[in-house]
Amino acid sequence: MASVEFVDVRKSFGAFPVIKGVDIEVADGEFVILVGPSGCGKSTLLRMLAGLENISAGEIRIGSRVVNGLAPGERDIAMVFQNYALYPHMTVAQNMAFSLMLKRAPKADMDQRVNKAAGILGLTKLLDRYPRQLSGGQRQRVAMGRAIVRDPQVFLFDEPLSNLDAKLRVAMRAEIKELHQRLSTTTVYVTHDQIEAMTMADKIVVMHDGVVEQVGAPLDLYDRPANLFVAGFIGSPA
């Protein structure tokens, strides 16, 4: 596990600033949700943390390391996306083991990590199935399994539930929280859904147009919104 810190982080695409000086602190083991309307810069922040996008100014730290110049593979993070494309020709076990195979992990170590993740996610009986034989929720769990086997210091989630139907979405919220309670891995989770943020986060970061409007526990934001934007966003229906 490790803390995560954004220090006056900025990002422009060409001349167009999309992240305008963002400071965020995520403590060791904390589950932090970045929430805000579409286009406010959530994915860009997460992609910079993952090393998939370079930063224009400022500093990003994971633990005691400044990671600005590090490649994604050097950051000890694992990311779960909204479009969690599984490899259709690989079994559940092979899908989960794939990133370890790329790192040339020994087979015994690989099997042990896959079995452990499968146990945590309730996938033990499905290891030999192919993605097309799985339900939407099971596929989502395999996507999480791919992240878990890497035993990263930080989990990153970018709208992982937005392709699921409403009922499954609610069930998966609980599963992701249980997973966090079990592993206590530091997590940065992005969503535009304020209900998801209110029900899942230890701490919420409300973003709007490239800046942080407020940081607080769900109840703090609800009881004491810092401004009209936060009040309107947190108070509006999903």
38 makes contact with ligand ADP (CB under 6 A): yes
Residues ≥6 apart with Cβ < 8 Å to 21 = 8, 9, 10, 58, 211
Q: How far is the CB of 132 from ligand ADP (least distance, A)?
A: 29
DSSP 87: P
Piece of the chain touching ligand ADP by CB under 6 A; list 37-45, 90-98, 160-168, 226-234: 37-45
**Which of 40, 126 has the CB closer to ligand ADP?**
40
Residues ≥6 apart with Cβ < 8 Å to 49 = 4, 6, 60, 62, 67, 77, 154, 156, 188
Pairing between β-strand 77-80 and β-strand 154-158 as defined by DSSP bridges: parallel
Single out the residue of 144, 137, 187, 145 nearest to residue 163, CA to CA: 137
d(Cα 130, Cα 170) in Å, to the nearest integer? 25
Question: Among 5, 41, 97, 233, which residue sits at the site for ligand ADP (rule: CB under 6 A)?
Answer: 41
Q: How far is the CB of 193 from ligand ADP (least distance, A)?
A: 12
Q: How far is the CB of 44 from ligand ADP (least distance, A)?
A: 3
54 makes contact with ligand ADP (CB under 6 A): no
Q: List interacting residues with Mg ion (CB under 5 A).
A: 43
- Output the six-digit token pair for 136: 């939407």
Question: Among 22, 26, 30, 43, which residue sits at the site for ligand ADP (rule: CB under 6 A)?
Answer: 43
Q: How far is the CB of 179 from Mg ion (least distance, A)?
A: 22
**Binding-site ranges for ligand ADP (CB under 6 A):** 13, 18, 36, 38-44
